[in-house]
Amino acid sequence: MRFACAADPQPYRIDWISSGNGGIDSTLKSTSQLQTLRATAPVGPYGLIARARADVSRLRTVLESFGYYQGTITITIDGRDLESPGLGEVLSALPKGAAAHVKIVPALGPLFHVGRIDIEGTLPAGMKRTLGLPHALLGLSSGAPAVASKVLAAGASLQIRLQDAGYALAKVDKPIAYEVPARHVLNLTFRVTSGPRVRIGQIRIEGLRHVRQSLVRRRLLVHTGEIYDAAAVEKARQDLLGRGLFSSVSVRLGAPDAERRVPLTFLVRESKRFAVGVSGAYSSDLGGSGGVHWSDLDVFGGGQHLTLSATAIDLGGTASTGVGYDARVGYDIPDFHRRAQTLGFSVAALRQTLQAYTQNGATAQSTLTRRLSSDWTASAGASYEHEIIDQQGHQYQYDLVSMPLSARFDSTDLTSPLLDPTHGYRISLSVSPTLSSGASGRQLFVIMQGSLATYFDLHRLFPSDPPGRTVIASRLIAGVAEGASRFSLPPDQRFYAGGSGTVRGYRYQSVGPQFADGNPQGGTSLQAVNLELRQRVGAKFGFVLFADGGGVASGSQSVYRVGVGMGVLYYTSIGPVRLDFAVPTRRLRNSGRFEVYIGLGQAF
């Protein structure tokens, strides 16, 4: 009777010899099964030999992909060649637990370059058949290193150019490469089938359930009868997806008809119509806040958006004197009379219990917002607010009617304000003419505010530092009230500094003129500057160092302060969770020794 026994796993260690190119070495290691399976998939002696033999071919392919077509990979085990007779017996005879020594030696050899470039097949007039010089259609030229990814990208680039020019069915096969070993060049032939130039035919939309088809058609950026343009079709797909009504949007291309018109079908999958979410934040000056919101993303099938929210605020902070609330109802109508224009309505009830004042108010507002470009957005609106404010033992009642105007510029290329900006600018400007009736009689004043934030990635100065790892962020804030003095302005319309939005390390609203008991008075102008160094560490963590300076002035009276601090971050898919600790450089009356802030997203 004979029994088959599996060999014990053969442990091994790997000695990598550098090829002289760090990028190639990294790719070799990530491709090698000897490396990637060493800890997770143990093998016996003969399995180790088989794995090493497979790696020779696999790693040679890596060298070729970088343009080294005469490169070699030499792998030895305990100093023996893989084809050495008796290697299996030698490994089997090793003491149990003894690690075999695997040595991997890559030799690059000469770098091959692109030689002649030929195009076979039909090309539209004006497109050259033989490309011996750099050409925009391919993005590849003779004499360039024959890197596989760039060679393949050249064919894809040509196919995209053809499709963008109306040749919807154009196809460019993978290039055929002919080695010329003596000259170390690679001649390339791209086989092209252009097909007919077509126009867009019938456009179908499939997958709609609640969203009205008229809304989708009104938003489409492509139309029947236009010359087919692959880039335009993709832009239209992305535009529909970015509307928020669909979780996925794809495009199916049909066969052209006798009139050379190709039908398009947009396949959509609607997002969940209803959404419920919670929010929360904490700072040592304003305390905690927590809320819940509910949304209907498509009330009547036209993308109308209804939101109900309720938030408890001022929960235990040193700058608050009790519990407050913020309850809101918002309703938005997208594409109001024209594309990229939204009409919004909102009503809110607010109670704030702060050291500066206690406010109870109700607001109704309507705003028309128009997206002017990919970077610029402008809005205009009308607002009415009724409020009762207690300050320093006196109660004041106000009715405010305002017409706020604002403009925003954002070149950070982010889809959410919670994500981490690494480049670009964010600019906001607002002007709010306001008519106030109340404690100071009837008066007209104008509040103007602006901010400029910029983000600089140090990768631009130090290419060895990976992109987005080290970023310098800065922000300037300024505001002024014209037409009213400090005490004729309603307390909530005055400017205050201190807290997470202006000068960290100081209690909320504490930087500025104060009453005799140390409570904030507010002022008629504000200036602040924030500077941060943001450093990412590993995949999920980071830290930040920051300094803030700013203050509030009114007439000849002004107060300015500087705060410094640091924070730690944990990066999530929706934005970084941030914990900041800040201290004042010069304390104020009723100001603490430090402040703590916790929230989602960067400070600015």
What local confidence, expressed as pLDDT, does residue 483 receive? 92
Residues 6+ apart with CB under 8 A from 101: 12, 13, 15, 77, 78, 79
From the list 206, 124, 199, 125, the residue with the least C-alpha distance to 166 is 199
Name residue, tokens 């560490």: 537
- Distance (Å, whole) CA 564 – CA 506: 10
> Phi/psi at 502 (nearest 5 deg)?
-135, -75
8 A C-beta contact, residue 356 and residue 522: yes
Structure tokens at 287: 């305390």
- Distance (Å, whole) CA 425 – CA 412: 6
Report helix, strand or coil for 269: strand
Kind plus residue range of the DSSP H or E element containing 53: helix 45-65
8 A C-beta contact, residue 191 and residue 207: no
Longest Cα–Cα distance of the chain, Å, equals 110
Report, in angstroms and rounded to the nearest whole number, the Rg of the chain calculated over CA atoms.
Answer: 33
Question: Is 1 a member of any domain?
Answer: no
- Distance (Å, whole) CA 509 – CA 591: 10
Name the DSSP class of 240.
Answer: H
Question: Is 475 a member of any domain?
Answer: yes
User: What is the average pLDDT across 54-58?
Assistant: 96
Task: Say yes or no: 227 and 184 in one domain.
Answer: no
Task: Say yes or no: 285 and 409 in one domain.
Answer: yes
From the list 391, 380, 382, the residue with the least C-alpha distance to 435 is 382
What local confidence, expressed as pLDDT, does residue 1 receive? 40
Task: Say yes or no: 291 and 407 in one domain.
Answer: yes
Specify the number of domains making up the chain.
4
> Phi/psi at 107 (nearest 5 deg)?
-125, 120
Kind plus residue range of the DSSP H or E element containing 152: helix 148-164
What local confidence, expressed as pLDDT, does residue 339 receive? 87
- Distance (Å, whole) CA 407 – CA 255: 46
What local confidence, expressed as pLDDT, does residue 2 receive? 40
Cβ burial, residue 20 (10 Å; 0-12/13-18/19+): exposed
Report helix, strand or coil for 94: coil
Name the pLDDT band for 242 (thresholds 50, 70, 90): confident
Task: Say yes or no: 102 and 117 in one domain.
Answer: no
Which of 107, 127, 143 marks a domain boundary?
107
Task: Say yes or no: 189 and 260 in one domain.
Answer: no
What local confidence, expressed as pLDDT, does residue 266 receive? 97
What local confidence, expressed as pLDDT, does residue 137 receive? 66
User: What is the average pLDDT across 324-332?
Assistant: 98
Within 10 angstroms of residue 444's Cβ, the number of other Cβ atoms is: 12
Question: Is 64 a member of any domain?
Answer: yes
Task: Say yes or no: 84 and 125 in one domain.
Answer: no
pLDDT in tens, 441-466: 899 999 999 999 999 999 999 988 88
From residue 141, alpha-carbon distances to 17, 136, 162, 306 in Å are 33, 10, 19, 55
User: What is the average pLDDT across 484-508?
Assistant: 94
Beta bridge partners of 135: 140
Name the pLDDT band for 491 (thresholds 50, 70, 90): very high
Task: Say yes or no: 249 and 291 in one domain.
Answer: no
> Phi/psi at 152 (nearest 5 deg)?
-65, -40
Which of 136, 170, 193 marks a domain boundary?
193
Question: Is 7 a member of any domain?
Answer: no
- Distance (Å, whole) CA 411 – CA 455: 10
What local confidence, expressed as pLDDT, does residue 133 receive? 42
Kind plus residue range of the DSSP H or E element containing 414: none
From the list 339, 332, 212, the residue with the least C-alpha distance to 268 is 212
User: What is the average pLDDT across 229-247?
Assistant: 93
- Distance (Å, whole) CA 560 – CA 498: 10
- Distance (Å, whole) CA 373 – CA 362: 34
pLDDT in tens, 281-319: 999 999 999 999 999 999 999 899 999 999 999 999 999
Residues 6+ apart with CB under 8 A from 36: 30
Task: Say yes or no: 125 and 169 in one domain.
Answer: yes
Beta strands in 135-211 (DSSP E): 171-172, 176-180, 185-193, 199-206
Question: Is 83 a member of any domain?
Answer: yes
What local confidence, expressed as pLDDT, does residue 359 receive? 97
Please give the angle made by the CA atoms of 88, 91 and 97, to the nearest 5 degrees: 150
Task: Say yes or no: 96 and 173 in one domain.
Answer: no
pLDDT in tens, 564-574: 999 999 999 88
Relative to beta strand 113-121, strand 185-193 is: parallel
Name the pLDDT band for 136 (thresholds 50, 70, 90): low
Q: CA neighbours within 13 Å on the CB side: how many for 60?
A: 13
Q: Angle at which helices 230-242 and 148-164 pack, to 10 degrees?
A: 90
Name the pLDDT band for 126 (thresholds 50, 70, 90): low
User: What is the average pLDDT across 323-345?
Assistant: 95
- Would you state the torsion angle of the CA atoms of residues 353, 356, 359, 363, taken in this order, to the nearest 10 degrees? -120
Beta bridge partners of 206: 267
Name the pLDDT band for 7 (thresholds 50, 70, 90): low
From the list 395, 587, 451, 396, the residue with the least C-alpha distance to 510 is 587
Structure tokens at 228: 């087919």
Within 10 angstroms of residue 269's Cβ, the number of other Cβ atoms is: 13
Name residue, tokens 């007439």: 555
CATH number at residue 219: 3.10.20.310
What region does 49 belong to: left with phi over 0, alpha with psi -120 to 50, or beta? alpha
CATH number at residue 91: 3.10.20
In whole numbers, what is the pLDDT of the chain averaged over residues? 93
Name residue, tokens 């104060």: 514
Please give the angle made by the CA atoms of 528, 533 and 535, to the nearest 5 degrees: 150
Question: Is 5 a member of any domain?
Answer: no
Query: Sheet containing 80-81: which strands, arranged edge to edge?
Result: 12-16, 100-107, 72-77, 80-81
* Distance separating the N- and C-terminal Cα atoms of the chain: 77
> Phi/psi at 11 (nearest 5 deg)?
-65, 150
The residue length of the chain stands at 604
- Distance (Å, whole) CA 105 – CA 499: 59
Domain ranges, residue 431: 274-600
182-186, 313-317, 436-440, 450-454: least confidently modelled range: 436-440
What local confidence, expressed as pLDDT, does residue 34 receive? 96
CATH number at residue 484: 2.40.160.50
pLDDT in tens, 218-227: 899 999 999 9
8 A C-beta contact, residue 286 and residue 499: yes
Question: Is 3 a member of any domain?
Answer: no
User: What is the average pLDDT across 519-534?
Assistant: 97
Name the DSSP class of 222.
Answer: -
Question: Is 2 a member of any domain?
Answer: no
Task: Say yes or no: 131 and 81 in one domain.
Answer: no
Report helix, strand or coil for 384: strand
pLDDT in tens, 408-421: 999 999 988 889 99
Task: Say yes or no: 204 and 188 in one domain.
Answer: no
Whether the predicted pLDDT of 580 surpasses 80:
yes
Task: Say yes or no: 232 and 168 in one domain.
Answer: no
Which of 193, 225, 258 marks a domain boundary?
193
pTM: 0.75
